[in-house]
C-alpha cells in the first residue's frame, strides 16, 4: 500500500512509523519519476511486512521537499527511526531499491 505523504501526516506516517519508510519524491511532469513509480509500487506490495512506502509530490509538498533538500527527482529516501538512513537520486532498478532496504 502506498501512502500519499503530506506535511499534515508526515509525523504520524514517517517519524512515528514502527517500521522503516521509503519516501519517493516525485512530480507528475517528471519522466523518470513516472518510470520509477510502478517499480516503487511493486516494492511496496511485495514488502508490506518490512517497509512502509510513501510518495511525496514535490509540487504539492514544497515544504517537505525543502526539508529534505531535494534538488533532483526522482529521489528515494529511506527513513529509519525518524532519521534519514539512505538516499538515492535518479531512476533505480527493483534490485537497487531492494538492496537499499536491506
Active site residues: 30, 33
Q: What are the φ/ψ torsions at residue 60 (nearest 5 degrees)?
A: -90, -25
**Cβ neighbours of 69 (radius 10 Å):** 8
Which H or E run includes 62?
helix 62-67
Amino acid at each position: 500500500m502506498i501512502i500519499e505523504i503530506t506535511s499534515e501526516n508526515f509525523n504520524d506516517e514517517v517519524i512515528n512509523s514502527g517500521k522503516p519508510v521509503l519516501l519517493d519524491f516525485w512530480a507528475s511532469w517528471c519522466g523518470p519519476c513516472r518510470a520509477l513509480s510502478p517499480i516503487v509500487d511493486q516494492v511496496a506490495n511485495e514488502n508490506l511486512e518490512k517497509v512502509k512506502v510513501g510518495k511525496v509530490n514535490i509540487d504539492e509538498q514544497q515544504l517537505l521537499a525543502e526539508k529534505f533538500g531535494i534538488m533532483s527527482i526522482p529521489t528515494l529516501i529511506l527513513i529509519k527511526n525518524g532519521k534519514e538512513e539512505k538516499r538515492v537520486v535518479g531512476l533505480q532498478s527493483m534490485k537497487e531499491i531492494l538492496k537499499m532496504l536491506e
